[in-house]
A and B are shown apart, each in its own frame.
Chain A
Amino acid sequence: AQSVTQLDSQVPVFEEAPVELRCNYSSSVSVYLFWYVQYPNQGLQLLLKYLSGSTLVKGINGFEAEFNKSQTSFHLRKPSVHISDTAEYFCAVSVVQPDMRFGAGTRLTVKP
């Protein structure tokens, strides 16, 4: 079965700095990869997903992620963060429905 590891539980950064949230996955077959964001007191919403094709995926709010098959990684990046990006971010991997596996989450805190 597939699994996901988010390498950082908390990432503090200053406003306008770049950020990378790291995600590694484990699977013996091809996977679909997702990043979700959870703002305080809200449910999860999809940031972006990788299905196939180009390894660089662009999502909402200026985020992008790069799929690296050899390193089994799917790191999320943003070149310049805002205070409003403060949230918890979840990486998820799916092989077949409905078995989607989520990481433990990374709490991004953007400081002024």
Chain B
Amino acid sequence: DVKVTQSSRYLVKRTGEKVFLECVQDMDHENMFWYRQDPGLGLRLIYFSYDVKMKEKGDIPEGYSVSREKKERFSLILESASTNQTSMYLCASSWTGDADEQFFGPGTRLTVL
């Protein structure tokens, strides 16, 4: 079974802190994604990566950055956390075929105080 794991299920941080969210997949997928999930808005893509050290902005990249130094690991970084970044963050991975589904991690619920 494909497994996507995220480093924390729940995280509480203070405004202005630097926050790291880690994601690891074990299926040798090329693509990895970070989404933000908010009620009534569904999933919005923050960043994705199609290869090591390669990244592309999604729909809402402002206030975030990413890092992919190894194929299996994709990190989301909040340089200076703000209260409007309180949300559920979902990591996903997939192969590169157009019809390939994405496999999701359990999510990290981040609260910024």
Q: Which residues of A contact B (CB under 8 A)?
A: 9, 32, 34, 36, 41-46, 49, 51, 90, 94-98, 100, 102-105
Contact = CB atoms under 8 A, between A and B. Distances in A.
B40 A43 contact: no
A98 to B, nearest CB: 5
B94 A97 contact: yes
Contacts, number: 54
A34 B97 CA distance: 14
B107 A97 contact: no
B42 A97 contact: no
A43 B42 contact: no
Contacts of A94: 98-99
Contacts of B4: 43
Interface in B77-98: 90, 92, 94, 96-98
A98 B33 contact: yes
A49 B101 contact: yes
A78 to B, nearest CB: 20
Given A42-B106, A98-B31, A104 B94 contact: no
B41 interface: yes
B62 interface: no
Contacts of B43: 44, 90, 102
Contacts of B50: 98
B74 interface: no
